[in-house]
C-alpha cells in the first residue's frame, strides 16, 4: 500500500458503535479527535448486529434516527450506514476494507475508546484492522492500555507519539489521544430511562426529544 504522504488525501475518522443510544461523550470525543488530528470528517458507523455484545435494545432504524438527529448539527460528522446495509454480523474489518476500496488515497483512522481497544483481540480478523487503517485510542475513565500480552506486543511497533504520523501513511499506526473524560455510557442512559428518570444533558437535546416523543427504551410506559 502506498505510503507516499505527498499523494495522500486528508485523513478521515471512522467511529463505529452500537449507539444505543448516541450520547454526548460519543460526540464530544469524536469532535475532539476531528479537531486534534485535523480529520476531513468523522464517519459515524452504527452497527447492525454487534458481534461482541448483547443485542441492542432499539432496532437499527431507531438507533440510526437518534444518531442522525444527534449529530446533524455538526459538520464534522457524517453518518455512514454501510453496516446496516450489509447482512450478518457487523465486522469492522469488512467495514474498513470497503472504505479502503472506495478511498484508496485517504488515511483512515479507526477511533476506539480505550475499553474497546483493550478487547480488540476478541474482534474478528483484528490484526487486519491496521492493514486498512490507523487506530486512534481515546482515553476512557477506568481503562488503561495493556502493558503485557499479545495486544501489548502488537501495539509496541505501531504506537506513534506524533499526530502528524497519521497523515504520512494510509494505515498501520496507533495513536493514543487524551480527550475530555466524560463518564457517560449508553448502559447508564438505558438504566436511567428504565427507571423513568431524565437523561437531559447526557444526550443531545434532539435525541432526548425523540426518546420522549416516541416512548423509546420504555420511557413513558406506565
> Does the protein bind ligand ATP through residue 99 (CB under 6 A)?
no
- Closest contact distance (angstroms) between CB of 115 and ligand ATP is 5
Using CB under 6 A, which of 18, 48, 95, 171 touches ligand ATP?
A: 18
107-136 binders of ligand ATP (CB under 6 A): 112-113, 115-116
- Which secondary structure element, helix H or strand E, spans residue 42, and what is its range? strand 42-46
> Does the protein bind ligand ATP through residue 203 (CB under 6 A)?
no
Using CB under 6 A, which of 170, 186, 202, 207 touches ligand ATP?
A: 186
- Closest contact distance (angstroms) between CB of 180 and ligand ATP is 9
For residue 9, give the nearest of 124, 115, 99 by alpha carbon: 99
- Which secondary structure element, helix H or strand E, spans residue 79, and what is its range? strand 77-79
Distance from the first to the final alpha carbon of the chain: 57
Phi and psi at 36, nearest 5°, equal: -65, -40
Nearer residue to ligand ATP within complex by CB, 29 or 211? 29
Nearer residue to ligand ATP within complex by CB, 8 or 31? 31
Neighbours of 87 (CB within 10 A): 7
Asked whether the beta carbons of 122 and 52 are under 8 A apart, the reply is yes
> Does the protein bind ligand ATP through residue 202 (CB under 6 A)?
no
User: Which of the ranges 12-20, 129-137, 162-170, 207-215 carries the binding residues for ligand ATP, by CB under 6 A?
Assistant: 12-20
Distance CA 201, CA 81 (A): 26
The most distant pair of C-alpha atoms in the chain lies apart, rounded to whole Å, by: 61
User: Which of the ranges 19-27, 69-77, 78-86, 191-199 carries the binding residues for ligand ATP, by CB under 6 A?
Assistant: 19-27
Reading the block at residue 138, the C-alpha cell is: 481515546
- Which residues in this chain contact ligand ATP in the complex, by CB under 6 A? 17-20, 25-26, 29, 112-113, 115-116, 138, 140, 182-187
Amino acid at each position: 500500500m502506498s505510503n507516499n504522504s505527498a499523494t495522500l488525501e486528508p485523513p478521515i475518522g471512522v467511529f463505529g458503535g452500537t449507539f444505543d443510544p448516541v450520547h454526548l461523550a460519543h460526540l464530544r470525543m469524536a469532535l475532539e479527535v476531528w479537531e486534534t488530528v485535523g480529520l476531513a470528517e468523522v464517519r459515524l458507523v452504527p452497527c447492525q448486529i454487534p458481534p461482541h455484545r448483547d443485542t441492542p435494545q432499539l432496532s437499527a432504524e431507531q438507533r440510526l434516527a437518534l444518531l442522525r438527529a444527534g449529530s446533524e448539527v455538526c459538520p464534522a460528522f457524517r453518518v455512514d450506514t454501510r453496516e446496516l446495509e450489509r447482512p450478518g454480523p457487523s465486522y469492522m474489518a469488512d467495514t474498513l476494507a470497503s472504505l479502503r476500496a472506495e478511498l484508496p488515497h485517504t488515511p483512515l483512522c479507526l477511533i476506539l475508546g480505550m475499553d474497546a481497544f483493550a478487547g480488540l483481540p476478541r474482534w474478528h480478523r483484528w490484526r487486519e484492522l491496521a492493514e486498512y487503517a490507523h487506530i486512534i485510542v481515546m482515553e476512557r475513565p477506568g481503562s488503561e492500555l495493556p502493558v503485557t500480552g499479545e495486544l501489548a506486543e502488537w501495539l509496541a511497533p505501531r504506537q506513534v507519539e506524533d499526530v502528524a504520523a497519521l497523515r504520512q501513511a494510509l494505515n498501520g499506526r496507533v495513536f493514543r489521544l487524551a480527550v475530555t473524560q466524560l463518564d457517560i455510557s449508553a448502559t447508564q442512559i438505558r438504566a436511567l430511562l428504565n427507571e423513568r428518570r431524565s437523561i437531559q444533558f447526557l444526550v443531545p437535546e434532539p435525541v432526548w426529544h425523540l426518546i420522549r416523543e416516541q416512548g423509546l427504551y420504555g420511557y413513558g410506559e406506565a
